[in-house]
Structure 1
């Protein structure tokens, strides 16, 4: 699940730790109401952690925070509006986030590696509350999509992406649902 709408929506929110709007928490709680899960795992950034805490309390299940589920760190661009970032540099990043990572920021391959590692440890029947970038990295790691293909998915705030994972020598996954 992607976290609810943050107080600083519309900005490049990577490691910026901002609050989630009350309506964003409500949207996540509503989206989780019909789901079956036995634990909640979340990014330790407040916009995910606060939504996850509310969901875990509603379902009376354990919550574990895991920083590997954080959003891509946008470095010196973090917390800024895209309009306040050099347009050519930003376009270069979107075209090649490994070769043109944000100044002082994280490379796409680093995000992908940490999310793939976290995904390997996810137990069945887990709800993960995270960020759009981490969700896209999970699609690449689990389903074998390339980075560009992962951008074909619209991942609005409080959306739920359900995956069935098969582990082993040739791990794979199946997308069961994507609900806005």
Structure 2
């Protein structure tokens, strides 16, 4: 059995401001480091063999905090980077409304249909994230793996396993430093055992509106 523990990075200032956050390399804020510390406690007794992470600093720092003093290899893999948001990166929902009328509502309601100027589609994210995931699982067969990445990237992997359509992406949110777990049998059969578990993070540290403004 191969087990993959998947954790989203901790909070950044852009998360807090509900700014679109893709490839911009925004660091964890103080609250984000607290998120990672609670995830570290939750995973302290898990016998991790290797840690894979997105190359963005918010994911790498989260991975480092979870690893702590343990001697576990930490590998950055570009296939696990967040969606490239192109010209949208850094904008708030209000700025999106002004600059790209109607596009933020498509992003929120049917994300699988989004086409971003200079960026990626979620289908493209799923394609390269799934390729990286299969490569990782094959290389680390039989091990306990931690993967620290981003909500968009991790969600596309889980949606591939579950067979869900990408337009339902936001119906299964993954909070900051929430945990997902996938077990892979010797024949390659995959089972999602946990999805977005965050009971180890105090309620007051969780974002009250995880995805910003949603029009009625």
Q: Same fold (TM over 0.5)?
A: yes
Maintained 8 Å contact 2:52/2:76: yes
Change (3 A) 1:152 1:95: closer
Equivalent residue, structure 1, for 2:9: 3
Equivalent residue, structure 2, for 1:39: 50
Equivalent residue, structure 2, for 1:77: 88
Give the CA deviation at 1:116.
0.5
Equivalent position to 1:179, from 192, 197, 204: 197
The structure whose RCO (Cα within 8 Å, separation 6+) is larger is 2
Distance 2:130 2:187 in 1: 14
Runs of 4+ aligned residues of structure 1 deviating over 6 Å after TM superposition are none
TM-score, normalising length: structure 2: 0.75
Distance 1:95 1:32 in 2: 33
Query: Mind listing any 5+ residue stretches in structure 2 that lack a counterpart?
Result: 1-6, 199-216
Equivalent residue, structure 1, for 2:132: 118
Equivalent residue, structure 1, for 2:155: 136
TM-score, normalising length: structure 1: 0.88
SS at match of 1:8: helix
SS at match of 1:175: strand
Maintained 8 Å contact 2:51/2:72: yes
Query: Mind listing any 5+ residue stretches in structure 1 that lack a counterpart?
Result: none
Equivalent residue, structure 2, for 1:20: 28
Distance 2:21 2:73 in 1: 27
Give the CA deviation at 1:95.
4.4
Q: Write the deviation string for residues 136-165 of structure 1: whole angstroms up to 9, x where unpaired.
A: 111112222221344222211111111112
SS at match of 2:23: coil
Give the CA deviation at 1:29.
2.7
Give the CA deviation at 1:34.
3.2
Distance 1:132 1:62 in 2: 23
Q: Which has the larger radius of gyration?
A: 2
RMSD: 2.0
SS at match of 1:59: coil
